[in-house]
Amino acid sequence: MKIPNIFEDETKAVSFAAGVTIFSSGDQGEAMFVIQSGQVELSVKGKVVETVGEDGFFGEMALIEDGPRTATAVAKSDCVLVPINRQRFEFMVHEVPQFAVEVMRVLSRRLRRLDDGVV
Protein backbone atom coordinates (compact mmCIF):
# COMPACT_ATOMS: atom_id res chain seq x y z
CA MET A 1 0.00 0.00 0.00
CA LYS A 2 1.31 3.42 -0.89
CA ILE A 3 1.05 5.93 1.92
CA PRO A 4 0.13 9.38 0.68
CA ASN A 5 2.68 12.02 1.51
CA ILE A 6 0.28 14.14 3.49
CA PHE A 7 2.09 13.66 6.77
CA GLU A 8 5.59 13.63 5.42
CA ASP A 9 7.13 14.93 8.62
CA GLU A 10 5.47 12.25 10.72
CA THR A 11 6.42 9.40 8.42
CA LYS A 12 9.38 8.21 10.43
CA ALA A 13 10.23 4.67 9.46
CA VAL A 14 11.39 2.40 12.27
CA SER A 15 13.64 -0.65 11.94
CA PHE A 16 13.28 -4.00 13.69
CA ALA A 17 15.82 -6.81 13.63
CA ALA A 18 14.70 -10.34 12.74
CA GLY A 19 13.17 -12.07 15.75
CA VAL A 20 12.18 -8.91 17.63
CA THR A 21 8.63 -8.65 18.98
CA ILE A 22 6.93 -5.54 17.60
CA PHE A 23 3.87 -5.87 19.83
CA SER A 24 2.24 -8.57 21.92
CA SER A 25 -1.34 -9.75 22.25
CA GLY A 26 -3.00 -7.78 25.05
CA ASP A 27 -0.85 -4.64 24.56
CA GLN A 28 -2.58 -1.31 24.14
CA GLY A 29 -2.27 -0.41 20.46
CA GLU A 30 -1.37 3.13 19.50
CA ALA A 31 -0.45 2.61 15.85
CA MET A 32 -0.74 0.37 12.82
CA PHE A 33 2.30 -0.35 10.65
CA VAL A 34 2.92 -0.40 6.92
CA ILE A 35 5.82 -2.64 5.90
CA GLN A 36 8.38 -0.79 3.83
CA SER A 37 10.70 -3.79 3.65
CA GLY A 38 10.92 -7.21 5.27
CA GLN A 39 8.31 -9.60 6.64
CA VAL A 40 6.28 -9.72 9.83
CA GLU A 41 4.63 -12.78 11.31
CA LEU A 42 1.33 -12.42 13.19
CA SER A 43 0.33 -15.11 15.66
CA VAL A 44 -2.65 -15.65 17.92
CA LYS A 45 -2.24 -17.92 20.93
CA GLY A 46 1.08 -19.15 19.57
CA LYS A 47 -0.31 -20.08 16.16
CA VAL A 48 0.88 -18.14 13.09
CA VAL A 49 -2.20 -16.69 11.40
CA GLU A 50 -0.54 -14.52 8.78
CA THR A 51 2.78 -13.46 7.28
CA VAL A 52 2.70 -9.89 5.99
CA GLY A 53 5.22 -8.67 3.41
CA GLU A 54 6.29 -5.46 1.73
CA ASP A 55 3.53 -2.86 1.24
CA GLY A 56 1.24 -4.89 3.50
CA PHE A 57 0.06 -3.58 6.87
CA PHE A 58 -0.94 -4.90 10.26
CA GLY A 59 -2.01 -3.66 13.69
CA GLU A 60 -5.02 -1.76 12.36
CA MET A 61 -7.57 -3.57 14.53
CA ALA A 62 -6.48 -1.80 17.72
CA LEU A 63 -7.13 1.53 15.98
CA ILE A 64 -10.46 0.56 14.51
CA GLU A 65 -11.89 -0.72 17.77
CA ASP A 66 -9.72 1.05 20.31
CA GLY A 67 -9.06 -2.29 21.98
CA PRO A 68 -5.95 -4.25 22.94
CA ARG A 69 -3.81 -6.11 20.38
CA THR A 70 -5.33 -9.46 19.44
CA ALA A 71 -2.19 -10.80 17.79
CA THR A 72 1.52 -10.84 18.55
CA ALA A 73 3.70 -9.39 15.77
CA VAL A 74 7.28 -10.56 15.34
CA ALA A 75 9.79 -9.42 12.72
CA LYS A 76 10.36 -12.51 10.58
CA SER A 77 13.29 -10.81 8.86
CA ASP A 78 14.99 -7.48 9.44
CA CYS A 79 12.31 -5.00 8.53
CA VAL A 80 11.49 -1.33 8.15
CA LEU A 81 8.01 -0.20 9.20
CA VAL A 82 6.11 3.05 8.87
CA PRO A 83 3.86 3.58 11.90
CA ILE A 84 0.47 5.23 11.41
CA ASN A 85 -0.87 6.62 14.66
CA ARG A 86 -4.53 7.03 15.53
CA GLN A 87 -4.76 10.63 14.40
CA ARG A 88 -3.24 9.87 11.04
CA PHE A 89 -5.35 6.74 10.65
CA GLU A 90 -8.53 8.74 11.21
CA PHE A 91 -7.38 11.44 8.86
CA MET A 92 -6.65 8.89 6.14
CA VAL A 93 -9.95 7.05 6.57
CA HIS A 94 -11.75 10.36 6.14
CA GLU A 95 -9.64 11.87 3.38
CA VAL A 96 -8.31 8.89 1.41
CA PRO A 97 -11.23 6.54 0.61
CA GLN A 98 -8.84 4.13 -1.11
CA PHE A 99 -7.11 3.64 2.24
CA ALA A 100 -10.40 2.63 3.91
CA VAL A 101 -11.15 0.29 1.02
CA GLU A 102 -7.72 -1.33 1.37
CA VAL A 103 -8.16 -1.82 5.15
CA MET A 104 -11.60 -3.37 4.57
CA ARG A 105 -10.14 -5.66 1.93
CA VAL A 106 -7.41 -6.95 4.23
CA LEU A 107 -9.87 -7.56 7.07
CA SER A 108 -12.28 -9.29 4.73
CA ARG A 109 -9.56 -11.53 3.30
CA ARG A 110 -8.52 -12.58 6.79
CA LEU A 111 -12.11 -13.43 7.65
CA ARG A 112 -12.42 -15.54 4.51
CA ARG A 113 -9.30 -17.43 5.41
CA LEU A 114 -10.52 -18.03 8.96
CA ASP A 115 -13.96 -19.02 7.71
CA ASP A 116 -12.33 -21.53 5.41
CA GLY A 117 -10.83 -23.11 8.52
CA VAL A 118 -14.20 -23.50 10.28
CA VAL A 119 -15.20 -27.14 10.54
**Residue numbers of the site for a second copy (CB under 8 A)?**
44-45, 47, 49, 60-61, 64-65, 67, 70-71, 93-94, 97, 100-101, 103-105, 107-112, 114-115, 118-119
Nearest CB to a second copy, comparing residues 53 and 67: 67
Nearest CB to a second copy, comparing residues 15 and 108: 108
CB of 92 to a second copy, least distance (A): 10
Nearest CB to a second copy, comparing residues 19 and 105: 105
CB of 85 to a second copy, least distance (A): 16
Amino acid symbol at 36: Q
Name the nearest CA neighbour of 33 among 48, 12, 49: 12
Rounded to an integer, what distance in angstroms lies between the CA atom of residue 114 and that of residue 81?
26
User: Residue 80: CB partners within 8 Å, gap ≥ 6?
Assistant: 13, 14, 15, 16, 35, 36, 37, 38
